[in-house]
Structure 1
Amino acid sequence: MDAGPDAVWTVRRTAAPALAVRAAEGAAEAELSGPADQLCLGLRNRTAIPR
């Protein structure tokens, strides 16, 4: 599913596996943007977060 270039996703990281939802939910500690594949790898410490 292509959510488009302006899509907003919220990712919650806890002791449980990360949960991603397609919405802006609650306050954020950080805001990231970039290609989805690079963000997913970065959030799992597999590569640097895109700048």
Structure 2
Amino acid sequence: MTRMVREVTGVATATATLDASGWRTKPAIVALLAGVEVPEALERLEGVT
């Protein structure tokens, strides 16, 4: 559970950072930057957004 929360938080942080920089990227790119495996991250992003 803790690991999942940390990974989701990492994705959210990366997304917020990119948005603050004016970047508009696909979730897969954000996931790669956050260091989370793309399939897992996409599933989690769908649940978060």
Give the alignment's TM-score, normalised by structure 2. Answer: 0.22
Report the structure, 1 or 2, having the larger strand content: 1
Flag the structure with larger Rg: 1
With a CA cutoff of 8 Å and minimum separation of 6, indicate the structure with the bigger relative contact order: 2
Report the structure, 1 or 2, having the larger helix content: 2
